[in-house]
Amino acid sequence: MTATSVNPKSPARTRIRVNRLVLYTALVVITGLFLGPFGWLILTGLKAPAELAAAPVHWLPTHFEWHNFVDAYQAVDFLGYARNSLIIATIYATLVTLSSAWVGFGFARLTAPGKKVLFGILIGSMMLPQMITLLPTYLIFAKFGMVDTYWPWVLWGLSSAPYLVFLFRQFFAGLPRELEEAAIVDGCGYGGIFWRIFLPQSWPVLSASFVIAFTWTWGDYIAPQLLLSTDHSTLAVAVMTTYVSAAGTPNTNLQAAASVMYVVPILLIFLVAQRGFVAGMSTSGLK
Protein backbone atom coordinates (compact mmCIF):
# COMPACT_ATOMS: atom_id res chain seq x y z
CA MET A 1 0.00 0.00 0.00
CA THR A 2 1.21 3.48 -0.86
CA ALA A 3 -0.36 4.92 2.27
CA THR A 4 2.63 3.80 4.32
CA SER A 5 5.18 5.85 2.36
CA VAL A 6 5.67 9.09 4.24
CA ASN A 7 6.28 12.37 2.54
CA PRO A 8 8.34 14.45 5.02
CA LYS A 9 7.66 17.67 3.16
CA SER A 10 3.98 17.97 4.04
CA PRO A 11 2.86 17.00 7.55
CA ALA A 12 -0.80 17.55 6.65
CA ARG A 13 -0.63 15.01 3.86
CA THR A 14 1.15 12.58 6.17
CA ARG A 15 -1.68 12.96 8.68
CA ILE A 16 -4.26 12.23 5.99
CA ARG A 17 -2.29 9.15 4.95
CA VAL A 18 -2.00 7.86 8.50
CA ASN A 19 -5.72 8.50 8.98
CA ARG A 20 -6.47 6.58 5.85
CA LEU A 21 -4.25 3.70 6.97
CA VAL A 22 -6.08 3.55 10.31
CA LEU A 23 -9.43 3.65 8.52
CA TYR A 24 -8.49 0.84 6.15
CA THR A 25 -7.09 -1.30 8.96
CA ALA A 26 -10.24 -0.80 11.00
CA LEU A 27 -12.45 -1.64 8.02
CA VAL A 28 -10.49 -4.77 7.16
CA VAL A 29 -10.65 -6.01 10.77
CA ILE A 30 -14.38 -5.25 11.08
CA THR A 31 -15.17 -6.83 7.72
CA GLY A 32 -13.18 -9.89 8.81
CA LEU A 33 -15.27 -10.12 11.98
CA PHE A 34 -18.48 -9.86 9.95
CA LEU A 35 -17.42 -12.54 7.48
CA GLY A 36 -15.97 -14.73 10.24
CA PRO A 37 -19.14 -16.63 11.23
CA PHE A 38 -19.79 -17.60 7.62
CA GLY A 39 -16.15 -18.52 7.06
CA TRP A 40 -16.26 -20.72 10.15
CA LEU A 41 -19.41 -22.37 8.84
CA ILE A 42 -17.59 -23.30 5.62
CA LEU A 43 -14.58 -24.60 7.58
CA THR A 44 -16.87 -26.67 9.82
CA GLY A 45 -18.44 -28.12 6.70
CA LEU A 46 -15.00 -29.21 5.52
CA LYS A 47 -13.92 -31.07 8.67
CA ALA A 48 -14.25 -34.70 9.61
CA PRO A 49 -16.44 -35.59 12.63
CA ALA A 50 -13.35 -36.69 14.61
CA GLU A 51 -11.81 -33.28 14.09
CA LEU A 52 -14.87 -31.51 15.43
CA ALA A 53 -14.54 -33.55 18.63
CA ALA A 54 -10.81 -32.88 19.04
CA ALA A 55 -9.90 -31.04 22.25
CA PRO A 56 -7.89 -27.97 21.20
CA VAL A 57 -9.89 -26.50 18.34
CA HIS A 58 -8.58 -27.38 14.90
CA TRP A 59 -8.55 -24.02 13.16
CA LEU A 60 -8.14 -25.45 9.69
CA PRO A 61 -9.16 -28.95 8.64
CA THR A 62 -6.10 -31.22 8.40
CA HIS A 63 -7.70 -32.64 5.32
CA PHE A 64 -10.36 -30.72 3.39
CA GLU A 65 -13.31 -33.11 3.28
CA TRP A 66 -14.94 -31.79 0.12
CA HIS A 67 -17.04 -34.91 -0.10
CA ASN A 68 -19.00 -33.62 2.93
CA PHE A 69 -20.84 -31.41 0.49
CA VAL A 70 -21.74 -34.41 -1.68
CA ASP A 71 -22.69 -36.41 1.42
CA ALA A 72 -24.88 -33.57 2.71
CA TYR A 73 -26.55 -33.56 -0.68
CA GLN A 74 -27.12 -37.31 -0.62
CA ALA A 75 -27.83 -37.96 3.09
CA VAL A 76 -31.27 -36.37 2.77
CA ASP A 77 -33.44 -35.54 -0.23
CA PHE A 78 -31.63 -32.21 -0.61
CA LEU A 79 -32.77 -31.67 -4.18
CA GLY A 80 -36.40 -32.45 -3.29
CA TYR A 81 -36.37 -29.94 -0.43
CA ALA A 82 -34.64 -27.36 -2.64
CA ARG A 83 -37.31 -27.91 -5.27
CA ASN A 84 -40.07 -27.34 -2.67
CA SER A 85 -38.36 -24.11 -1.58
CA LEU A 86 -38.03 -23.01 -5.18
CA ILE A 87 -41.69 -23.74 -5.99
CA ILE A 88 -43.07 -22.02 -2.90
CA ALA A 89 -40.79 -19.00 -3.24
CA THR A 90 -41.61 -18.63 -6.95
CA ILE A 91 -45.36 -18.94 -6.42
CA TYR A 92 -45.33 -16.42 -3.60
CA ALA A 93 -42.92 -13.96 -5.22
CA THR A 94 -44.80 -13.93 -8.55
CA LEU A 95 -48.24 -13.49 -7.01
CA VAL A 96 -47.23 -10.98 -4.37
CA THR A 97 -45.32 -8.86 -6.89
CA LEU A 98 -48.31 -8.65 -9.23
CA SER A 99 -50.87 -8.07 -6.46
CA SER A 100 -48.69 -5.46 -4.75
CA ALA A 101 -48.14 -3.62 -8.04
CA TRP A 102 -51.91 -3.68 -8.59
CA VAL A 103 -52.68 -2.31 -5.12
CA GLY A 104 -49.79 0.15 -5.32
CA PHE A 105 -51.20 1.55 -8.56
CA GLY A 106 -54.50 2.23 -6.83
CA PHE A 107 -52.86 4.08 -3.97
CA ALA A 108 -50.60 6.06 -6.31
CA ARG A 109 -52.89 7.10 -9.14
CA LEU A 110 -56.50 6.98 -7.97
CA THR A 111 -58.60 8.74 -5.35
CA ALA A 112 -61.64 7.75 -3.37
CA PRO A 113 -63.22 8.59 -0.04
CA GLY A 114 -61.48 6.58 2.68
CA LYS A 115 -58.21 6.27 0.79
CA LYS A 116 -56.19 8.20 3.35
CA VAL A 117 -57.47 6.06 6.21
CA LEU A 118 -56.74 2.89 4.26
CA PHE A 119 -53.25 4.10 3.46
CA GLY A 120 -52.68 4.80 7.16
CA ILE A 121 -53.79 1.26 8.00
CA LEU A 122 -51.54 -0.12 5.26
CA ILE A 123 -48.49 1.68 6.63
CA GLY A 124 -49.42 0.80 10.22
CA SER A 125 -49.82 -2.87 9.29
CA MET A 126 -46.14 -2.97 8.29
CA MET A 127 -45.41 -2.68 11.99
CA LEU A 128 -47.73 -5.53 12.98
CA PRO A 129 -45.69 -8.31 14.51
CA GLN A 130 -46.09 -11.04 11.90
CA MET A 131 -45.40 -13.83 14.35
CA ILE A 132 -48.47 -12.82 16.34
CA THR A 133 -50.76 -13.17 13.33
CA LEU A 134 -49.00 -16.27 12.00
CA LEU A 135 -49.93 -18.54 14.91
CA PRO A 136 -53.74 -18.04 14.75
CA THR A 137 -53.50 -17.99 10.94
CA TYR A 138 -51.91 -21.43 11.17
CA LEU A 139 -54.82 -22.65 13.31
CA ILE A 140 -57.29 -21.33 10.72
CA PHE A 141 -55.38 -22.90 7.81
CA ALA A 142 -55.38 -26.17 9.75
CA LYS A 143 -59.16 -25.90 10.19
CA PHE A 144 -59.65 -25.48 6.43
CA GLY A 145 -57.40 -28.43 5.60
CA MET A 146 -54.71 -26.27 4.03
CA VAL A 147 -51.90 -27.72 6.09
CA ASP A 148 -49.38 -29.55 3.92
CA THR A 149 -50.54 -27.73 0.78
CA TYR A 150 -49.16 -24.67 -1.00
CA TRP A 151 -52.46 -22.80 -0.60
CA PRO A 152 -51.25 -20.61 2.28
CA TRP A 153 -48.52 -19.16 0.05
CA VAL A 154 -50.98 -18.64 -2.81
CA LEU A 155 -53.35 -16.77 -0.49
CA TRP A 156 -50.55 -14.74 1.08
CA GLY A 157 -49.30 -13.93 -2.41
CA LEU A 158 -52.71 -12.83 -3.66
CA SER A 159 -53.29 -10.53 -0.70
CA SER A 160 -50.20 -8.37 -1.47
CA ALA A 161 -47.57 -7.25 1.04
CA PRO A 162 -47.75 -3.72 2.54
CA TYR A 163 -44.00 -3.22 2.20
CA LEU A 164 -44.07 -3.99 -1.54
CA VAL A 165 -47.30 -2.04 -2.07
CA PHE A 166 -45.47 0.94 -0.63
CA LEU A 167 -42.52 0.34 -2.94
CA PHE A 168 -44.79 0.29 -6.02
CA ARG A 169 -46.83 3.25 -4.81
CA GLN A 170 -43.67 5.35 -4.54
CA PHE A 171 -42.61 4.34 -8.04
CA PHE A 172 -45.99 4.84 -9.74
CA ALA A 173 -46.57 8.19 -8.01
CA GLY A 174 -43.40 9.48 -9.66
CA LEU A 175 -44.51 8.74 -13.24
CA PRO A 176 -45.90 11.66 -15.31
CA ARG A 177 -49.66 12.16 -15.33
CA GLU A 178 -49.87 12.37 -19.13
CA LEU A 179 -49.39 8.60 -19.15
CA GLU A 180 -52.93 7.77 -18.15
CA GLU A 181 -54.60 10.93 -19.45
CA ALA A 182 -54.03 9.99 -23.07
CA ALA A 183 -55.28 6.49 -22.37
CA ILE A 184 -58.42 7.77 -20.65
CA VAL A 185 -59.23 9.93 -23.66
CA ASP A 186 -58.84 6.82 -25.79
CA GLY A 187 -61.43 5.11 -23.61
CA CYS A 188 -59.05 2.71 -21.92
CA GLY A 189 -60.14 1.44 -18.48
CA TYR A 190 -57.90 1.66 -15.43
CA GLY A 191 -57.22 -2.06 -15.57
CA GLY A 192 -55.91 -1.62 -19.11
CA ILE A 193 -53.91 1.46 -18.13
CA PHE A 194 -52.24 -0.50 -15.36
CA TRP A 195 -51.59 -3.56 -17.46
CA ARG A 196 -50.57 -1.96 -20.76
CA ILE A 197 -48.98 1.33 -19.70
CA PHE A 198 -47.72 1.20 -16.12
CA LEU A 199 -46.61 -2.39 -15.72
CA PRO A 200 -44.29 -2.42 -18.76
CA GLN A 201 -42.61 0.72 -17.37
CA SER A 202 -41.85 -0.80 -14.00
CA TRP A 203 -39.38 -3.60 -14.70
CA PRO A 204 -36.84 -2.33 -12.16
CA VAL A 205 -39.39 -2.33 -9.33
CA LEU A 206 -40.99 -5.58 -10.49
CA SER A 207 -37.67 -7.38 -10.40
CA ALA A 208 -36.66 -5.80 -7.09
CA SER A 209 -39.99 -6.84 -5.59
CA PHE A 210 -39.65 -10.38 -6.95
CA VAL A 211 -36.15 -10.76 -5.55
CA ILE A 212 -37.14 -9.39 -2.14
CA ALA A 213 -40.21 -11.64 -1.90
CA PHE A 214 -38.26 -14.66 -3.15
CA THR A 215 -35.54 -14.24 -0.52
CA TRP A 216 -38.17 -13.76 2.23
CA THR A 217 -39.79 -17.08 1.36
CA TRP A 218 -36.51 -18.94 0.82
CA GLY A 219 -35.33 -17.67 4.20
CA ASP A 220 -38.57 -18.26 6.09
CA TYR A 221 -38.30 -21.04 8.62
CA ILE A 222 -41.31 -20.88 10.86
CA ALA A 223 -44.21 -20.87 8.35
CA PRO A 224 -43.09 -24.02 6.49
CA GLN A 225 -42.12 -25.64 9.80
CA LEU A 226 -45.70 -25.17 11.03
CA LEU A 227 -47.61 -25.65 7.78
CA LEU A 228 -45.79 -28.44 5.94
CA SER A 229 -45.02 -32.01 6.99
CA THR A 230 -41.32 -32.92 7.07
CA ASP A 231 -41.38 -34.69 3.71
CA HIS A 232 -42.95 -31.76 1.89
CA SER A 233 -41.08 -29.05 3.71
CA THR A 234 -38.62 -26.48 2.46
CA LEU A 235 -34.84 -26.49 2.48
CA ALA A 236 -34.78 -24.11 5.47
CA VAL A 237 -36.62 -26.65 7.62
CA ALA A 238 -34.69 -29.61 6.22
CA VAL A 239 -31.29 -28.04 6.89
CA MET A 240 -32.35 -27.22 10.43
CA THR A 241 -33.95 -30.52 11.36
CA THR A 242 -32.93 -33.48 9.19
CA TYR A 243 -29.14 -33.74 9.65
CA VAL A 244 -29.30 -36.12 12.58
CA SER A 245 -27.67 -39.55 12.80
CA ALA A 246 -29.70 -42.68 13.49
CA ALA A 247 -28.60 -42.42 17.14
CA GLY A 248 -30.10 -38.92 17.36
CA THR A 249 -26.81 -37.02 17.50
CA PRO A 250 -26.41 -34.10 15.11
CA ASN A 251 -24.26 -34.53 11.99
CA THR A 252 -22.61 -31.17 12.55
CA ASN A 253 -20.27 -31.16 9.57
CA LEU A 254 -22.95 -32.29 7.10
CA GLN A 255 -25.39 -29.75 8.48
CA ALA A 256 -22.80 -27.00 8.11
CA ALA A 257 -22.11 -28.06 4.52
CA ALA A 258 -25.84 -28.19 3.79
CA SER A 259 -26.46 -24.75 5.26
CA VAL A 260 -23.69 -23.31 3.09
CA MET A 261 -25.43 -24.77 0.03
CA TYR A 262 -28.71 -23.35 1.33
CA VAL A 263 -27.36 -19.82 1.91
CA VAL A 264 -25.12 -19.39 -1.15
CA PRO A 265 -27.97 -19.06 -3.72
CA ILE A 266 -29.42 -16.19 -1.69
CA LEU A 267 -26.03 -14.49 -1.47
CA LEU A 268 -25.61 -14.85 -5.25
CA ILE A 269 -29.08 -13.46 -5.94
CA PHE A 270 -28.26 -10.54 -3.67
CA LEU A 271 -24.95 -9.84 -5.38
CA VAL A 272 -26.59 -9.87 -8.81
CA ALA A 273 -29.65 -7.85 -7.82
CA GLN A 274 -27.87 -5.64 -5.30
CA ARG A 275 -29.00 -2.28 -6.60
CA GLY A 276 -32.72 -2.91 -6.62
CA PHE A 277 -32.46 -4.64 -3.25
CA VAL A 278 -30.69 -1.76 -1.58
CA ALA A 279 -32.86 0.88 -3.26
CA GLY A 280 -35.95 -0.88 -1.95
CA MET A 281 -34.52 -1.11 1.55
CA SER A 282 -33.62 2.56 1.65
CA THR A 283 -37.02 3.74 0.44
CA SER A 284 -38.81 1.73 3.06
CA GLY A 285 -36.49 2.89 5.80
CA LEU A 286 -36.83 6.59 5.19
CA LYS A 287 -40.43 7.31 4.54
Total interface residues for other proteins by CB under 8 A: 105
Among 6, 16, 18, 27, the residue binding other proteins under the rule CB under 8 A is: 27
Neighbours of 222 (CB within 10 A): 14
Site string for other proteins, 223-262 (x = CB under 8 A): --xx---------xx-xxx----------x--xx--x--x
Nearest-angstrom CA–CA distance, 185 and 81: 51
E strand or H helix that includes residue 117: helix 115-125
Site for other proteins in 108-167 (CB under 8 A): 108-113, 115-116, 118-119, 121-122, 125, 127-133, 135-137, 139-140, 155-156, 158-160, 162, 165
Among 69, 78, 92, 107, the residue binding other proteins under the rule CB under 8 A is: 107
Site for other proteins in 77-96 (CB under 8 A): none
Choice between 103 and 213, CB closer to other proteins = 103
- CA 136 vs. chain centroid, Å, equals 24
Choice between 9 and 213, CB closer to other proteins = 213
State phi, psi for 133 to the nearest 5 degrees. Answer: -80, -25
CB of 215 vs other proteins, minimal distance in Å: 7
CB of 50 vs other proteins, minimal distance in Å: 11
- The answer to whether 267 contacts other proteins (rule: CB under 8 A) is yes
Nearest-angstrom CA–CA distance, 105 and 211: 20
CB 235 within 8 A of CB 85: yes
Residue 120: CA count within 13 A, CB half-sphere = 4
- The answer to whether 188 contacts other proteins (rule: CB under 8 A) is no
Quick one: which segment of 8-16, 55-63, 69-77, 202-210 binds other proteins (CB under 8 A)? 55-63
CB of 147 vs other proteins, minimal distance in Å: 12
Q: Long-range contacts of range 260-269, CB-CB < 8 Å, 24 or more positions apart?
A: 260/41, 260/42, 260/45, 260/69, 261/69, 261/72, 261/73, 261/78, 262/235, 262/236, 263/38, 265/218, 266/215, 266/218, 266/219, 269/211, 269/214, 269/215
Choice between 8 and 65, CB closer to other proteins = 65
- The answer to whether 26 contacts other proteins (rule: CB under 8 A) is yes
- The answer to whether 64 contacts other proteins (rule: CB under 8 A) is no
Choice between 132 and 247, CB closer to other proteins = 132
- CA 98 vs. chain centroid, Å, equals 18
For the chain, the first-to-last Cα distance in angstroms comes to: 41
